[in-house]
Structure 1
Amino acid sequence: MKNSKHKTSDRMQWFQEARFGISLHFGLYTIPARGEWVRSSERMTVDEYQKYFDSFNPDKDCCREWAKLAKKAGAKYCVLTTKHHDGFCLFDTKLSEYSSINSPAKRDIVKEYVEACREEGLKVGLYYSLVDWHHPDYPAFGDRQHPLRHDPDSKERDKNCVWEKYLEYMHGQVMELMSNYGKIDLMVFDFSYWDFIGEKWNASELVRKIRKLQPDILINDRLGCEAIKEANPPAYVGDYDQSEQDIPREPVKNKKGENIPWESWFTVNNSWCFDPNDRNFKTPSNIIRALVNCVSKGGNLLLNMSPDAKGHINRPTVELLENVGAWLDKNGESIYGCRIADFAKPEWGRFTQKGNILYAHLFEQVVGHVNLPGMRGAVKDGRLLANGTEVIICDYWNPGIQTFDSPDDIFFNIGKPTAFTFPLPDRSDTVIRVELTDEKEKKMLKEEYQEDFKTSIRRVPF
């Protein structure tokens, strides 16, 4: 068991250092541009949906456009929808005619995407839907979301469904993805529901086959329902937990109380696939603070962008990601490779940490100097991460007269006098790089502060 845990930890290392990824939802549903669930929400038949297959033809080099933008945004890995719930495949599959190879595009989009990611030095992730509304052996009547769930003819249709045939098809396609595109770093499954969960997918066998072909791959935990949180998880357990459009209020733990790896998955606006009418884009500050929030709790952020029907990314998305990338160019040290800090979350922002370096992320303008709770003697030096400017580490500005904070607190400010209020250099997130002391240094600094305090209370303040 120890060896198994060690290997899982080794597999996770790059993921927990990367902290930021980009995903892409792209497929036939991009053409109607009314949501990736459009065939379900509008209860389209296969024939009604066929016109999108007959016109699917994205521009060449669109995958390079995606990868270059992801790199510029500061992402370290990407995830592409190889097959969504509608069953359309963006890869060259020998098990179905319903693929981009047989569409007007006549191209293996997954191959182009994988090559583009590698050109940009990005880790490669593949998304694959366990659900398939196109396959004849996937049950429809009464299902939670199948387009034909309310069609009375589906009862008769389902009598001919052979679940084992669908499992053979689904497993076979996953093996194609694991075999035909070189090293794959991440496998993202979507999704389990009702009794379609765990061994209904023959999940243990599926994971065994995946790991035989791709021993270093990471798999999300959606073959089951948060199996990773169980005290004794099943054989098909994933490597990390994953939530959508939500950041947990504290680090994610299993039932033993141990921290587990996790990822929060967000959209740039309110849509997973391209929607020209959705102009509700998040701001760079929204994304930057969400990323910091995730990392401060030991998690990653996967941000989804949506190409249009021709494969291009719209200008608002480009500008948003370029701004996030510009912030990471200056402050990425406080994100990549960072973990949960040894100190509690401050009221004005967040902490991240790497070794003996603590990163103080100021989200809110503080009146006067900024409190570092319980850190008296723990701070050796402080600098603005973006430009290296010294930060003044100080005691309460009016010692011996009044104080409202703990005697173990210390303060800092970006200017003098330290009682003054100076505008934050970066309104999204001003990051202070704080070098921490060791135990010997901490004791010496506490003694120095005590002597300074005795001197200062005898001194006229102005």
Structure 2
Amino acid sequence: MIKKFSGLVVSTIIFMVATVTPSFAQQKPKEKIELQHGAHRTGKRTDADMQTWRTYGLGQFIHWGAYSLLGGKYNGEYYNGAAEWIRVWNKVPNAVYDNLYKQFNPQQYNPTQWAAMAKQMGVKYLTFTTKHHDGFCLWPSKTTSYTIAGTPYKKDIIKPLVEAYTKAGIDVYLYFSVMDWSHPDWRYDLKTREDTIAFDRFKKFTKDQLTELLTLYPETKGLWFDGTWDNSWKKSGAFTDSLEQYLKALRPGLIIGSRLRADDLGNRHNDANGLLMGDYEQGWERKIPKTYADVHGNDWDCVMTIPENGWGYQEKWLGHWKTSNELIEMLAQCVSLGGNLVVNFGPKGDGSFRPEEMTAAKDIGAWMKINSNAIYNCEYAGWEKQDWGYYTKRTGENKYYMIVFNVPVSGSLKVQPPRNWTVTKATLLGDATKNISLEKIDYGGSFIHLPKGFSTGKPFVIELETQKATGTGNEQKAKT
């Protein structure tokens, strides 16, 4: 047979070599790049502090500063951008903006009430802006006069906030912008020797400010960096590496995301070998991964605004703002993919929250009061996603949750566990008396039948109990 078809065999072999060889070339592993200041760890942190971070599920971000006084508006005209960036709008003179802090006197600031609102919402961690790009410090820093001490308010904003949230059982992370428009030694790039000398002074200033924050507020669990994308910082890989190590030595267990570091070649977030530089991925700003594969096995969170790109207070929310149900769905989606969702709030200059934010916090809290078991201490389930919503899994247990947003017209929800596993029980969270029945279908799947006329008008959660299947699992497959 081989002799008879030798020509065919040879031509087939040539075809196979021609078509297969390129894929072999593509699979050749990339040569590792030797780095002094790349990632110092592969895989996730395994310590208790980082494990706590993974259990949070829901966080709160607060952007507050001198920019909150303008509310995204100057001389009757609205700035069509993020309110905290209004200083770069050419219609606001720098001299006007840089003196705004002299009017900062938030008489309605009540950190205990802020913490109570966050607690009711179900928040487990807070990220708070100690200093944004304008350089104005909400603590009485000794490194500059551009601080809360120079305002009519005079008192430290950060200390009572950290204490109130900590007392409420909410962990605090401090936001810090490296970029500083107010500092004479800040540089966007290092093109001359003079630039380098000035920026070396700026790096010392930055280190001193961070030392103050960790010293003054020892309850701090981590630091959230911003303003690190310019060439000046990207060219300072050795310093960013040493700074991270210094901060973690100063505060053992400190959690720092992927925005601080740059490697030897100026890569951020991931080094030249594709390894994460930081304890969790911070690239998911106002966007959520589509699949679990997109997070590459890293810890991550998504920071999300309620209006479109609205971080600091804006007097007028331009465009669409997210409903409570939209935010709850984003929360479910993030947790289902192994991450946390952090919802941003932008208080007014007087320290009060706008009604839309308070409503969102109340609505999310009411939902969390019933359904938080599907959020806290939960992770990626690994089950085939269905159109009705999202799965989460209780960490360390064979307990799964269906977070349902879209009920089919049939009223039946399909679940498809991994091979050799089966669902044994389904219970509606918040009302175990509801009659939810299971119907087994091919390949270990089930239909969950909701009671006739069942409707909640809002997302709901079904808790699933599972066990290893006792049958062979060898359903007769269709012949095709």
Which secondary structure state, in structure 2, belongs to the residue aligned with residue 37 of structure 1? helix
2:365 corresponds in structure 1 to 325
Which secondary structure state, in structure 2, belongs to the residue aligned with residue 87 of structure 1? coil
Residue in structure 1 matching 2:145, options 83, 97, 100: 97
Residue in structure 2 matching 1:262, options 293, 300, 304: 300
Which secondary structure state, in structure 2, belongs to the residue aligned with residue 227 of structure 1? coil
C-alpha separation in 2, matches of 1:2 and 1:246:
27
C-alpha separation in 2, matches of 1:53 and 1:27:
8
**1:286 shift after superposition:** 0.5
C-alpha separation in 1, matches of 2:40 and 2:65:
42
2:423 corresponds in structure 1 to 379
1:443 and 2:470 are equivalent in the alignment: yes
One-letter amino acid of the structure 1 residue matched with residue 453 of structure 2: F
**1:319 shift after superposition:** 1.0
1:238 corresponds in structure 2 to 278
Q: Given the superposition, is the C-alpha separation of residues 344 and 65 from structure 1 closer, same or farther in structure 2, using an over 3 Å criterion?
A: same
**1:12 shift after superposition:** 1.3
1:171 and 2:207 are equivalent in the alignment: yes
Q: Given the superposition, is the C-alpha separation of residues 204 and 94 from structure 1 closer, same or farther in structure 2, using an over 3 Å criterion?
A: same
1:309 and 2:357 are equivalent in the alignment: no
1:88 and 2:136 are equivalent in the alignment: yes
More relative contact order in 1 or in 2 (CA 8 Å, sep 6+)? 2
Residue in structure 2 matching 1:56, options 104, 114, 129: 104
C-alpha separation in 2, matches of 1:161 and 1:37:
27
Unaligned runs of 5+ in 1: 144-154, 397-404, 416-420, 451-462
1:428 and 2:458 are equivalent in the alignment: yes
Identity %: 28
1:281 corresponds in structure 2 to 321
C-alpha separation in 2, matches of 1:445 and 1:413:
25
C-alpha separation in 2, matches of 1:381 and 1:64:
42
Moved more, 112-121 or 45-54: 45-54
C-alpha separation in 2, matches of 1:377 and 1:165:
61
Counterparts of 1:34-183 in structure 2, within 5 Å, are 34=72, 35-42=83-90, 44-59=92-107, 61-139=109-187, 162-183=198-219
1:401 corresponds in structure 2 to none
One-letter amino acid of the structure 1 residue matched with residue 152 of structure 2: P
C-alpha separation in 2, matches of 1:108 and 1:39:
24
Moved more, 325-334 or 161-170: 161-170
Deviations 1:1-50 (A, max 9, x none): 99996854433111110111101100010011110001012365542213
Q: Given the superposition, is the C-alpha separation of residues 344 and 50 from structure 1 closer, same or farther in structure 2, using an over 3 Å criterion?
A: same
C-alpha separation in 1, matches of 2:183 and 2:163:
29
C-alpha separation in 2, matches of 1:122 and 1:42:
39
Do the aligned partners of 1:393 and 1:410 also contact (CA within 8 Å) in 2? no
**1:198 shift after superposition:** 4.5
C-alpha separation in 1, matches of 2:381 and 2:375:
12
One-letter amino acid of the structure 1 residue matched with residue 413 of structure 2: V
Deviations 1:347-398 (A, max 9, x none): 21110011111101111021222211257861111100122235533337xx
1:195 corresponds in structure 2 to 231
C-alpha separation in 2, matches of 1:122 and 1:47:
38
Residue in structure 2 matching 1:247, options 282, 288, 313: 288
C-alpha separation in 2, matches of 1:6 and 1:110:
30
TM-score (structure 2 length as normaliser) = 0.79
C-alpha separation in 2, matches of 1:430 and 1:445:
34
Q: Given the superposition, is the C-alpha separation of residues 326 and 27 from structure 1 closer, same or farther in structure 2, using an over 3 Å criterion?
A: same
Which secondary structure state, in structure 1, belongs to the residue aligned with residue 464 of structure 2? strand
Moved more, 161-170 or 334-343: 161-170
Residue in structure 2 matching 1:356, options 382, 393, 398: 398
Which secondary structure state, in structure 2, belongs to the residue aligned with residue 443 of structure 1? coil
**1:182 shift after superposition:** 1.2
C-alpha separation in 1, matches of 2:54 and 2:210:
25
Deviations 1:425-447 (A, max 9, x none): 2x33221000011x2xx216979
2:385 corresponds in structure 1 to 345
Deviations 1:100-152 (A, max 9, x none): 01111101111121111112111011000010000001136x99xxxxxxxxx
C-alpha separation in 1, matches of 2:355 and 2:247:
38
**1:410 shift after superposition:** 1.3
RMSD between superposed Cα atoms in Å = 3.0
Which secondary structure state, in structure 2, belongs to the residue aligned with residue 380 of structure 1? strand
1:389 corresponds in structure 2 to 433
1:218 corresponds in structure 2 to 255
C-alpha separation in 2, matches of 1:230 and 1:296:
29
Do the aligned partners of 2:370 and 2:429 also contact (CA within 8 Å) in 1? yes
Q: Given the superposition, is the C-alpha separation of residues 58 and 47 from structure 1 closer, same or farther in structure 2, using an over 3 Å criterion?
A: same
Do the aligned partners of 1:288 and 1:428 also contact (CA within 8 Å) in 2? no
1:300 and 2:340 are equivalent in the alignment: yes
2:242 corresponds in structure 1 to 205
Q: Given the superposition, is the C-alpha separation of residues 138 and 194 from structure 1 closer, same or farther in structure 2, using an over 3 Å criterion?
A: closer
One-letter amino acid of the structure 1 residue matched with residue 470 of structure 2: K
C-alpha separation in 2, matches of 1:365 and 1:246:
25
Q: Given the superposition, is the C-alpha separation of residues 409 and 128 from structure 1 closer, same or farther in structure 2, using an over 3 Å criterion?
A: same
Unaligned runs of 5+ in 2: 1-38, 73-82
Counterparts of 1:386-425 in structure 2, within 5 Å, are 386-395=430-439, 406-415=442-451, 422-425=453-456
C-alpha separation in 1, matches of 2:201 and 2:288:
38
**1:51 shift after superposition:** 3.3
1:186 corresponds in structure 2 to 222
One-letter amino acid of the structure 1 residue matched with residue 136 of structure 2: F
* Structure 1 stretches of 4+ moved >6 Å: 1-6, 158-161
One-letter amino acid of the structure 2 residue matched with residue 54 of structure 1: K
Do the aligned partners of 2:44 and 2:298 also contact (CA within 8 Å) in 1? no
**1:260 shift after superposition:** 0.7
